[in-house]
Amino acid sequence: MPTTSYEFVRSPCQILKKLRRLPAGPAMEAALVRCLLRSARQRFASAALVASLAAGLSKYRPSLAIALVDALLEEVRLGLERPDAGAHP
């Protein structure tokens, strides 16, 4: 049993269901993009899970997929402009 009021999520399908239940709107979309990119940046092993979640969410929120790709390409561009490893967050 979890000790907090939050239940533990174990599969990508459950995570996708919970993300689909979030309210729609530009502020929530921006928060989802930030959260997905941050989790993929912190753990490279979770990049496949983030891609799977983005693909599942894009069926219901097409603008989220566009914003996620745009933010990802922006991070790649910034990374190429700063070649020193110490400059990356």
Q: Give per-residue pLDDT as tens, 5-61.
A: 556 657 888 888 888 888 888 898 999 899 888 888 887 778 888 888 889 988 988
Token duo for residue 53: 């979640």
Say which residue the tokens 């894009």 belong to: 58
According to the model, what pLDDT value does residue 7 have? 60
- Domain range annotation of the chain: 25-81
pLDDT top residue among 62 and 43: 62
State the Cα–Cα distance between residues 5 and 26, nearest whole angstrom.
28
- Which residues, 6 or more positions from 32, have their beta carbon under 8 angstroms from its beta carbon? 19, 22, 57, 64
Read off the pTM: 0.71
Residue 87's pLDDT is what? 54
Distance CA 12, CA 44 (A): 16
What pLDDT shows up at residue 9? 57
